[in-house]
Structure 1
Amino acid sequence: MHGDLYLVRHGKTMFNEKRVIQGWCDAPLTREGEEQAERIGRYFEREGITFDHAYTSTLTRTQQTIERIVGMSYERVEDLREWGFGAFEGERVSLMPPFPWGDFYVPFGGEAQVDVRRRVSDALAQIMARPGHERVLAVSHGSACREFLTRWVPDGGFDHGKVPGNCSIMHFAFSEGMFELIEVIEQDRLRVLLGE
């Protein structure tokens, strides 16, 4: 199977703005987050990029994002959720330890880093291997996207350990069960490309 995956981090949320750990709990998009998603929609339309299928995590912020990008039906996939931070969810971001987190959150009811990386990578590989999935849009989360990037992008190919900004587009080619990063387009670049 060959195809293109456009992986997008959800738009800015109220918790992003307040510097609160989200994980599996949810917060709505801010007006800025809605505008970020709408900008991606304008970019895809201008470039003539359409999708065979679309996916989000089961969390509302990804669904609000995709609904402002495209006007098509989408499937919710639990394994595209954000890293589960356990008891740290809803707390201030300032309480997070330095990255990489490894198994730090496990004793607090959260996930291990290797498990998040495997979960998201496996889910996207299974999606892309489905028949008729030549160009796919998926909306996920910051740390989930970072783990996917870490799995598939060699050191130096992307700013290693960096969380992609809200409503960043990560374009991957998929072939023979493998992903290759084509480009990452952040919101600042989208504004330039669209002349905004």
Structure 2
Amino acid sequence: MPNEMFMPVVVMIRHAQSEWNREGRFTGWADPGLTEVGEAEAVRAGQLLARRGLHFDAAYTSRLARARQTAETVLRLSGDADVPLVADWRLNERHYGALQGEDKAAMTARVGEHQVWRWRRGYLDRPPAMTADDPHHPARDARMADIDPAERPNGESLADTRRRVTGFWDTEIVPQIRAGRRLLIASHGNTLRALIMALDGMQQDQVEAFEIPTGVPILYVFSASGEPIGWHYLDPTADGLRAA
């Protein structure tokens, strides 16, 4: 791979471990914070970037606390605390509809392992929709009030998530890559899976098997025209998860 010190780069990171990651619950747009383990993961990520001498011109995150907390910690530890951090809803986690807050193990016992696997990993499979009167519906969330109602989800497939995150990528990120800027994106597992699927040209069966660990920076290198060249984890112990 070309020397990233002389190439446009985007560092992507899935938020560090959240309280609901630890508890094994469907999270989606719910807003739990980081665990102590998650806070330590975010610190380690920032230290990895600092050791590589990587600094950023701009940073992006979702509107969810676990991603924002991860981004803020990474920027502080990498020496970039003053870099603007923009929160964009299109970087939110996949919306898990009526499954949000449900225990994954209990749901597996109720509907079977295959159905839960399809909801979690299937590219085209949507979860049961969240009803409009649900108190956790995005329409009732002040943080999401500016989202066009036609775009506001009540349950998304990975394909739906891909459409919104690639829209964000094309409008917000590609012009900055072409300008040679270095960017941080702190987002969520499904959102980054969908984005990397688009950038790498993955097939559906590949992305269904693709996992991204919490709190591990991914260094993505691009050409001056914005074409992806390749990526790798900055933590070498995570490399084996690339094809997991």
TM class by smaller structure: 0.7 to 0.9
Quote how far apart the aligned CAs of 1:107 are.
Answer: 4.4
Match for residue 179 of structure 1? 228
Match for residue 168 of structure 1? 216
Match for residue 91 of structure 1? 102
Task: Give yes or no for the alignment of 1:11 onto 2:30.
Answer: no
Quote how far apart the aligned CAs of 1:133 are.
Answer: 5.6
Q: Deviations over 1:89-119 (max 9, x none)?
A: 0012233333214133264530132221121
Quote how far apart the aligned CAs of 1:86 are.
Answer: 0.7
CA contact (8 A) 2:14 2:216 kept: yes
Aligned AA for 2:29? W
Match for residue 127 of structure 2? 105
Give runs of aligned pairs for residues 22-61 of structure 1, distance below 5 A.
22-61=27-66
Mapped partners of 1:63, 1:41: distance in 2? 14
Quote how far apart the aligned CAs of 1:154 are.
Answer: 4.2
Match for residue 25 of structure 2? 20
CA contact (8 A) 1:21 1:91 kept: yes
CA contact (8 A) 2:16 2:42 kept: yes
1:127 pairs, out of 154, 158, 172, with 172
Q: Which runs of 5+ in 2 are unaligned?
A: 1-6, 76-80, 108-115, 131-153, 240-244
Mapped partners of 1:43, 1:57: distance in 2? 22
Quote how far apart the aligned CAs of 1:186 are.
Answer: 4.7
Q: Deviations over 1:15-46 (max 9, x none)?
A: 00000011001111001101111111111111
What TM-score results when the alignment is normalised by the length of structure 1? 0.84
Mapped partners of 1:21, 1:37: distance in 2? 21
What TM-score results when the alignment is normalised by the length of structure 2? 0.69
Mapped partners of 2:43, 2:93: distance in 1? 22
Mapped partners of 1:49, 1:79: distance in 2? 25
- After TM superposition, which residue ranges in structure 1, 4 or more long, deviate above 6 angstroms? none
Range moving further from structure 2, 121-130 or 136-145: 121-130
Mapped partners of 1:118, 1:106: distance in 2? 19
Aligned AA for 1:153? D
Name the structure where strand makes up a greater proportion of residues: 1
Q: 1:7 to 1:134 in 2, by over 3 A?
A: same
Range moving further from structure 2, 137-146 or 117-126: 117-126
Range moving further from structure 2, 107-116 or 83-92: 107-116
Aligned AA for 1:15? W
Q: 1:171 to 1:122 in 2, by over 3 A?
A: farther
Identity percentage over the alignment? 26
| CA-based RMSD | 2.4
CA contact (8 A) 2:213 2:238 kept: no
Range moving further from structure 2, 120-129 or 138-147: 120-129
Mapped partners of 2:39, 2:189: distance in 1? 16
Aligned AA for 1:90? G
CA contact (8 A) 2:17 2:214 kept: yes
Range moving further from structure 2, 2-11 or 74-83: 2-11
Quote how far apart the aligned CAs of 1:152 are.
Answer: 1.9
Mapped partners of 1:137, 1:80: distance in 2? 12
